[in-house]
C-alpha cells in the first residue's frame, strides 16, 4: 500500500472504530483494535494509528511494530520510543498508557505467544529480516469521566 492509501485506510478504520464503540468490519472484523495516539518524534505532530493488540493476563496490552512485514519500522514505533507516555482509545474509552519495548528473553517469550495466537504476526516476520518490535502498554486510569473508584483494566471497575 502507498502512504496515501495507508492513510486513507487508517482514516476509515478510525472513523468506523469511533462510530461503533471500538468495533470495525471488513478485513479487520473481529480483530481487537486500539487507536494509539502518538506524537511525532521529530515533527511534534499528534497522530492516531489503529493497531491490533493482544490482552495479557496482567492487564497490559501487547502490540507489535510489524508494518505488515515492511523492511522498516512503522513511524509510530519511533514516536512511541521517543514519547512512551501517551494514550489509547479502547472501545469507547480513553486510557493513558506507558509503553515498554520488550527486549531479550521477555520479547522472545511474548513474541512466540503472539505469533501462535496470530498467524498474521508470524507471516509478517517472514517478510522481513528485521526483528519486529514488541511493546507492552500499561493502562492508566481512564480519561472518560469523574474518578469513581479504582480501575481494574479495560471495562472492569473494582468493587473496592
Q: What is the pLDDT of residues 45-82, one digit of tens each?
A: 999 999 999 999 999 999 999 988 899 999 999 999 99
Contacts of 8 (CB under 8 A, 6+ apart): none
This prediction has a pTM of: 0.85
CATH superfamily of 3-142: Electron Transport, Fmn-binding Protein; Chain A (2.30.110.10)
pLDDT band at 3 (very low <50, low <70, confident <90, very high): confident
The residues spanned by each domain of the chain are 3-142
Dihedral over alpha carbons 11, 120, 28, 40 (to 10 degrees): -20
CA distances, 17 to each of 26, 28, 30, 82, 126 (Å): 12, 11, 12, 26, 29
The distance of Cα 23 from the centroid of its chain, to the nearest Å, equals 15
Amino acid at each position: 500500500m502507498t502512504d496515501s492509501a495507508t492513510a486513507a485506510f487508517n482514516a476509515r478504520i478510525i472513523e468506523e472504530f469511533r462510530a461503533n464503540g471500538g468495533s470495525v468490519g471488513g478485513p479487520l472484523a473481529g480483530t481487537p483494535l486500539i487507536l494509539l495516539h502518538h506524537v511525532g518524534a521529530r515533527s511534534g505532530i499528534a497522530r492516531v494509528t489503529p493497531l491490533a493488540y493482544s490482552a495479557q493476563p496482567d492487564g497490559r496490552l501487547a502490540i507489535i511494530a510489524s508494518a505488515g512485514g515492511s523492511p522498516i519500522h512503522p513511524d509510530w514505533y519511533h514516536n512511541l520510543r521517543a514519547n512512551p507516555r501517551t494514550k489509547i482509545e479502547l472501545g469507547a474509552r480513553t486510557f493513558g498508557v506507558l509503553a515498554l519495548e520488550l527486549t531479550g528473553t521477555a520479547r522472545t517469550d511474548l513474541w512466540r505467544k503472539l505469533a501462535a495466537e496470530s498467524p498474521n504476526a508470524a507471516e509478517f516476520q517472514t517478510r522481513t529480516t528485521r526483528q519486529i518490535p514488541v511493546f507492552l502498554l500499561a493502562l492508566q486510569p481512564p480519561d472518560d469521566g469523574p474518578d469513581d473508584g479504582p480501575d481494574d483494566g479495560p471495562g472492569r471497575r473494582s468493587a473496592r
